[in-house]
């Protein structure tokens, strides 16, 4: 390798703003010239600063029947990521909670994956996804020709990664369990100056707070039931899909 390494960033999809997108933007700040390979990009649903990114989308960008139901794309994501052309890049950094780690770099390239969790649809919430997937009558027949079922493909894709990084000890244990791979914990960026605590320690009336996308796998109802049973105040901030 001569001169500066060529870097490519890979992200599952850019259609909402959450923690993984904040990590991706920090990676962009570290490597401002690196293109971002992703399945679908909807700039209207992201902060304006994401317009700085050099985004390269897959064939899924033009799927006509999906609309806002992006979960319906999951069966097609392995094919999309495996078809990205990463020739000429020395370092690939994938930002992955789904299939972006499944890209196929050149043999001499280094692939580092920041993994938020092993693919939920393949492991921890597999049956829930099958029952709730949008456009199920359309998606399932179309997905049958794909080369492998999610758990098998996801495990194989994880073996292509040279180095795993993750955001917590909990996810580190999941990566070891499902992928049989070691990983290092690097906590994600948080702008602490945005927050100020006003609750007094020991104040039993200080409310508990949950801030989350209201997805089933987030299990917000557990906090609601617990606080209801204990008679504690709870505020929930979030939107459902």
- CA separation for the pair 1, 236 (Å, rounded): 50
pTM confidence score: 0.81
With beta carbons less than 8 A apart as the criterion, state whether 55 and 38 touch. Answer: yes
In the prediction, which pLDDT does 193 show?
85
**Domains of the chain (ranges, CATH numbers):** 7-185 (3.40.50), 196-237 (no CATH)
For residue 168, give the nearest of 115, 212, 99, 215 by alpha carbon.
115
pLDDT recorded at residue 110? 98
pLDDT of residue 214: 87
Question: What is the share, in percent, of the chain residues with pLDDT greater than 90?
Answer: 63
Output the pLDDT for position 73. 82
As a whole number of angstroms, the distance between CA 19 and CA 128 comes to: 23
User: How many other C-beta atoms are found inside a 10 Å radius of the C-beta of residue 13?
Assistant: 25
User: Who has greater pLDDT, 121 or 31?
Assistant: 31
pLDDT digits (tens, 9 = 90+) for 205-235: 668 999 988 888 788 999 999 999 999 999 9
How many angstroms separate the CA atoms of 124 and 171, rounded?
12
């Amino acid at each position: 390798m001569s001169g500066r390494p060529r870097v490519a960033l890979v992200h599952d999809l850019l259609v909402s703003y959450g923690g993984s997108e904040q990590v991706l933007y920090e990676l962009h700040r570290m490597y401002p010239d690196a293109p971002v390979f992703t399945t679908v990009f909807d700039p209207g649903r992201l902060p304006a600063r994401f317009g700085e990114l050099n985004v390269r989308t897959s064939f899924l960008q033009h799927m006509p029947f999906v609309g806002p139901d992006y979960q319906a794309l999951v069966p097609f994501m392995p094919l999309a990521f495996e078809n990205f052309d990463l020739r000429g890049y020395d370092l690939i950094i994938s930002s992955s909670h789904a299939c972006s780690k499944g890209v196929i770099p050149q043999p001499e390239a280094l692939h580092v994956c920041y993994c938020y969790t092993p693919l939920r649809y393949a492991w921890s919430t597999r049956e829930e996804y099958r029952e709730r997937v949008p456009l199920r009558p359309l998606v399932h027949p179309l997905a049958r020709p794909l080369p492998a079922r999610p758990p098998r493909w996801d495990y194989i894709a994880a073996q292509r990664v040279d180095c795993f990084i993750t955001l917590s000890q909990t996810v580190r244990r999941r990566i070891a369990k499902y992928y049989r791979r070691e990983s290092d914990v690097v906590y994600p960026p948080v702008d602490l100056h945005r927050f100020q605590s006003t609750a007094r320690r020991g104040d039993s009336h200080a409310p508990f707070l949950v801030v989350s996308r209201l997805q089933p796998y987030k299990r917000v109802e557990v906090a609601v039931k617990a606080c209801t049973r204990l008679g504690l105040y709870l505020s929930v901030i979030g939107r459902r899909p």
